[in-house]
Amino acid sequence: MKQITDFKLIEKQDYGRSVWLRFQSEKALPEITAGQFLQVRIDGSPKTYLRRPISIHDVNSESNEISLLVQKVGEGTRHLADTKLGEMVNMVLPLGNGYTLPDDKDEKVLLVGGGIGIAPLFYLGKMLKKKGLKPVFLLGGKTQNDLIRLEEYRKIGEVLVTTEDGSLGEKGFVTQHSVWKNERFDKVYVCGPKPMMKAVFAVTKENSIWCEVSLENMMACGLGACLCCVEKTVEGNTCVCKEGPVFNTRRLLW
Amino acid sequence: MVNTKIDLGKGLVLRNPVMTASGTFGYGEEYTDFVDMAQLGGIIVKGTTLHPREGNPYPRMTETPSGMLNCVGLQNKGVEYFINTIYPRIKDFDTNVILNLSGSTIEDYVTAAEMINELDNVPAIELNVSCPNVRQGGMAFGVTCSGISQVVTEVRKAYHKHLMVKLSPNVTNIAEIAQAAEASGADSVSLINTLLGMAIDAEKRKPILSMVTGGMSGACVKPVALRCVWQVSKAVKIPVVGLGGISNATDAVEFMLAGASAIEIGTANFIDPAISAKVAAGITDYCERHGFEKATDLVGALEV
């Protein structure tokens, strides 16, 4: 069940272009699946009238905590990043459909993240590990500064890295990483900029690998009411907020 | 105890003045985690056309200061799909379920209206003659007195329950349009639909919306909407339903003071999914604080 909840900011870590935020609620959290998102209310400016959709980075249902990894791209995310410890932030959650977890714990899974798109893969990796799988992360950025909290990801699974300038890991795009040649994966989970996700999809298609991607079309309601965030799919114009944000690539017209 | 009941005539009786605006509340199902339908006067479901429509290409929305623009373009699966698939799921909501009907020809409006007339639990149609986002989205009808007279006259013959006509603010004299709707048989008018607007990405030298223009809604349109309600309520005898930027109970009361018998909450549903029920409770609070026994006492009570 979805809820509208006030969360208190209890910890934050600033990484310059992005920020990690840990929030706690007094209310019990609803069940949240990896890949779902929430809508944050940004108070204080006429330029942040609508809520901001943000993917859920981590969940601790025992302590009613959620974490967000947010890139400061506009007025809304900058305002959110400026939240001070102890301040309250209102969120609607959980929204949309998350990633599909495999039933078979022997399946080989690759989690491919680009830039801030690494955010939801953290919780996904945790859920996969909990199910007995051994998640492998393949995370790409322009430079090493784009890739943050890698030490946390390493606690969950193997972390492979590409950077466009070669400052960390293999030089190039995620699709150029040697892991694609050396290993065979059963499932590939992707989140990142659309061109990057399309490139990963092309690789999985060529190799007939099951693939799910998370879209981030511009949204208003986040609930499937306004029909603004549609993506063309095999079923026609489909709301990313309600039917997605995670889609199996078979449903997309890419 | 404040009596919040609003009788809009021809069988449409609301338990309180608050309805949700078409296109902002889905089919109600999207909001059941947040709002008890029994706390609302009615819900006006997504704009429906005789035939299915895919709507306009993405991108369909952009934020503006205190508001937003959209060019969704009436994406819907058609009236048959509504009747067979959606209606059975929502017909027992404990509130008035009103269908917003749009069309591109008078024949389409009439055929769909005849079908909706058969639905026992839909007591009213909100006739959309004011969608700015499709070439023949009805706005061609809604911007002239002769156009609105034509479509309302023909739908009136086919539809025997409450006929509410939703008006566009993108006209030179909205009061004349409202009078034409009234004279052609409308039971009420609702206003305003979105204001035609536009947004540009200067860096790319491109329009932001796929259709270049779109309908503006949200808190920023409230002063225009309030003025329209004020002008129309003085010009017609049928009830006026006010909408446009209503974000809280004070806004709702202002619309009623300006002459609205009931109100609709639109874009504010996106910012607080529970706002509609809060506004209903807030109108009651206002009446108590100011000694009004009935919500209808607020209607047109502006002291000019």
Assign 3-class secondary structure to chain A.
Answer: CCEEEEEEEEEEEECCCEEEEEEEECCCCCCCCCCCEEEECCCCCHHHCCCEEEECCEEECCCCEEEEEEECCCHHHHHHHCCCCCCEEEEEEEECECCCCCCCCCCCEEEEEEHHHHHHHHHHHHHHHHCCCCCEEEEEECCHHHCCCHHHHHCCCEEEEEECCCCCCEECCHHHCCHHHHCCCCEEEEECCHHHHHHHHHHHHHCCCEEEEECCCCCCCCCCCCCCCEEEECCEEEEHHHHCEEEEHHHECC
Most A-contacting residue of B49, B271, B276 (CB-CB within 10 A), to test interface: B271
Pair (A132, A200) in one structural domain: yes
The CATH number linked to A66 is 2.40.30.10
Domain of residue A187 covers: 109-214
One domain, residues A148 and A87: no
Beta strand A37-40 pairing with A18-25: unpaired
A233: in domain: no
pLDDT (0 to 100) of residue A44: 79
pLDDT of residue A159: 98
**Is residue B64 within 8 angstroms of chain A, CB to CB?**
yes
Please state the domain count of chain A.
Answer: 2
pLDDT of residue B38: 98
Last residue in a domain, options A53, A72, A95: A95
User: Which pLDDT does position A60 carry in this prediction?
Assistant: 97
**How many Cβ atoms from other residues are within 10 Å of residue A227's Cβ?**
27
CA separation for the pair B162, B187 (Å, rounded)? 6
Q: Check: pTM over 0.90? Answer yes or no.
A: yes
| A228/A81 Cα distance (integer angstroms) | 26
Domain contains A80? yes
Q: Do B70 and A220 touch (CB under 8 A)?
A: yes
User: pLDDT tens, position by position, for chain A (254 residues)?
Assistant: 999 999 999 999 999 999 999 999 999 999 999 999 999 999 878 999 999 999 999 999 999 999 999 999 999 999 999 999 999 999 999 999 999 999 999 999 999 999 999 999 999 999 999 999 999 999 999 999 999 999 999 999 999 999 999 999 999 999 999 999 999 999 999 999 999 999 999 999 999 999 999 999 999 999 999 999 999 999 999 999 999 999 999 999 99
Q: What tokens were used for B212?
A: 């270049």
Taking only the tens place, the pLDDT of each residue in B198-219 is 999 999 999 999 999 999 999 9
pLDDT of residue A63: 97
Q: What is the CATH number of the domain that holds B112?
A: 3.20.20.70
Average per-residue pLDDT for chain B: 96
Q: What is the pLDDT of residue B139?
A: 66
Chain A residues whose beta carbon lies within 8 Å of the beta carbon of residue B58 = 217-218, 229-232, 237
B41-77 per-position pLDDT tens digit: 999 999 999 999 999 999 999 999 999 999 999 999 9
Place of tokens 């070669």: A166
Report yes or no on B303 lying in a domain: no
Does any domain span residue A122?
yes
Crossing angle for the helix pair B249-257 and B275-290, nearest 10 degrees? 60
Which residues are CB-neighbours of B223 under 8 A, at least 6 positions away? none
Taking the C-alpha atoms of residue A132 and residue A105, their distance in angstroms, rounded to an integer, is 5
Position A222, amino acid: G
pLDDT exceeds cutoff 70 at B159: yes
Residues of A with CB under 8 A from a CB of B: 1-4, 41, 46-51, 92, 217-232, 236-237, 242
pLDDT attached to residue B137: 54
State yes or no: is B131 an active-site residue.
yes
Shared-domain flag, residues A87 and A116: no
Q: Residue A31 falls within a domain, yes or no?
A: yes
User: Hey, CA dihedral for A186, A189, A192, A193, is it positive or negative?
Assistant: positive
- Residues A82, A159 within the same domain: no
- B274 close to B281: Cβ distance less than 8 angstroms: no
Average pLDDT over residues B263-282: 98
CA–CA gap between residue A191 and residue A216 (Å, rounded): 9
Nearest to A222 by CA among B31, B81, B162: B31
Per the model's pLDDT, the better-predicted residue between B239 and B137 turns out to be: B239
Q: How far apart are CA A198 and CA A216, in angstroms?
A: 13
Which domain CATH number covers A168? Answer: 3.40.50.80
Contact B280, B39 (CB under 8 A): yes
Q: How many domains does chain B have?
A: 1
Contact: B70, A226; criterion CB under 8 Å: yes
Identify the pLDDT of residue A9.
Answer: 98
Please write the tens of the pLDDT for every residue from A179-231: 999 999 999 999 999 999 999 999 999 999 999 999 999 999 999 999 999 99
User: Which residue range forms the structural domain that includes residue B119?
Assistant: 6-298
Higher pLDDT, B271 or B138: B271
**Which residue is closest to B274 within chain A, CA to CA?**
A4
Strand order of the sheet with strand A187-191?
A170-171, A158-163, A136-141, A109-114, A187-191, A210-214, A246-248
Which residues does chain A have within 8 Å of residue B278's beta carbon, measured at their own beta carbons? Answer: none
* Residue A155 within a domain: yes
- ipTM rounded to 2 decimals: 0.95
Same domain? For A89 and A142 the reply is no
| B3-B9-B12-B15 Cα dihedral, nearest 10 degrees | -10
Residue B304 lies in a domain: no
Statement to judge: residues A18 and A85 lie in one domain: yes
Q: Is the pLDDT of residue B98 over 60?
A: yes
Task: Give residue B284's pLDDT.
Answer: 98
